[in-house]
Amino acid sequence: MKSVARRTFVVPNFSEVAWAQIQISKICNSKQRQKLQRIAHPKMAYLVKRFTQKKLIDPKTLSRSELSRCLSIFDLTALGIGSTLGAGIYVLAGQVARSIAGPSIVISFFIAAVASILSGLCYAEFGARVPKAGSAYVYSYVTMGELCAFVIGWNLFLEYVIGASSVARAWSDYFDSVLNNRIRNYTLTHVGEFNASGLATYPDFFALLLVLLVTLILGVGVKNSSRFNNIFTGINLVVILFITCVGMYFAKGENWSRDFMPFGISGVFSGAATCFYAFVGFDVIATTGEEAKNPSKAIRSL
């Protein structure tokens, strides 16, 4: 441990400077190379090396894990479906159809689905080759270096925090509408109103309780939480199937024949960018790869 600590504060030697010069020659043209070579010094060489150093994973350790490998292919499939078919499919569909794309929302969803498939194939390949917890953070650390992994890791953190809060807020809003806005009215009367821009008009305590409840469920263990997820995923699929069948029964053909793209082609692509949020969540399969029984086979098959 002492040698590692001393190595952190040692001024880089000549070999590290030479390493930096080689990296500069690879990524720059002649004028940029000459400019960077003039300002390159030991500290900068050390900084470049630290930013671009990659995480080394021993292939012998890929089959070993400190986590419990208890998730089957069915569990991973249900986990991916449950994460993807969240509040986005319920909230965004009506909003995009009304304000962004119109009836051409079907094309928007198709474009978003193709983009999700391409992204999912990349996750499947990485998850099978590097079945470790960490998702895109680990993949970028192994392939692109520490700086890129640092940025992606914090982006993932923000993605999950914002995603969980938005889903909880949507659940709370729908539940409150069923109760004729009693939660909202009670909170505004006894707690008060927020006037800050970018925030909700009132503190949503029910959404907070939902997040705490889900946190407790996840804390009981991955196997028990996966069973809980399987049940709710089944309910979710039944609800979506029911809405689809009822919608097809009451569908009106004239809505498809006239003014199919009321917002133009730009509305279709804007709707596709928004609809992509409805597919977010498939990466959770790769995130839990270290807890799968046979990650290389399971993730590739999905």
> In angstroms, rounded to a whole number, what is the distance separating the alpha carbons of residues 9 and 3?
10
> Is 55 within 8 Å of 142 (Cβ atoms)?
yes
- Per-residue pLDDT, 14: 43
- Per-residue pLDDT, 19: 52
- Per-residue pLDDT, 77: 81
- Structure token digits, residue 45: 């060489």
> Is 285 within 8 Å of 79 (Cβ atoms)?
yes
- Per-residue pLDDT, 232: 85
Residues of the chain with pLDDT under 70: 1-46, 56-68, 255, 295-302
> In angstroms, rounded to a whole number, what is the distance separating the alpha carbons of residues 150 and 136?
10
Q: How would you class 226 by CB atoms within 10 Å of its CB: exposed for 0-12, middle for 13-18, buried for 19 or more?
A: buried
Residue 79: which of 300, 295, 281, 296 has the closest Cα? 281
The CA–CA distances, whole Å, from 216 to 18, 210, 220, 225, 290 equal 52, 10, 7, 9, 21
- Per-residue pLDDT, 110: 92
- Per-residue pLDDT, 67: 67
- Per-residue pLDDT, 242: 92
- Structure token digits, residue 271: 């709707």
- Per-residue pLDDT, 1: 44
> In angstroms, rounded to a whole number, what is the distance separating the alpha carbons of residues 176 and 277?
23
- Per-residue pLDDT, 86: 72
Q: Which stretch of DSSP H or E encloses residue 159?
A: helix 146-178
> In angstroms, rounded to a whole number, what is the distance separating the alpha carbons of residues 29 and 81?
47
- Per-residue pLDDT, 254: 74
Q: Name the DSSP letter for residue 102.
A: G
Residue type, 20: A
- Per-residue pLDDT, 111: 93
User: Would you say the C-alpha torsion 292, 114, 93, 245 has a positive or negative sign?
Assistant: negative
Q: Which stretch of DSSP H or E encloses residue 117?
A: helix 105-129
Phi, psi (degrees; rounded to nearest 5) at 132: -125, 150
- Structure token digits, residue 125: 């390949």
- Per-residue pLDDT, 8: 42
Residue 132: which of 56, 74, 52 has the closest Cα? 56
Q: Is 71 helix (H, G, I), strand (E, B) or coil?
A: strand
Q: Name the DSSP letter for residue 292.
A: B
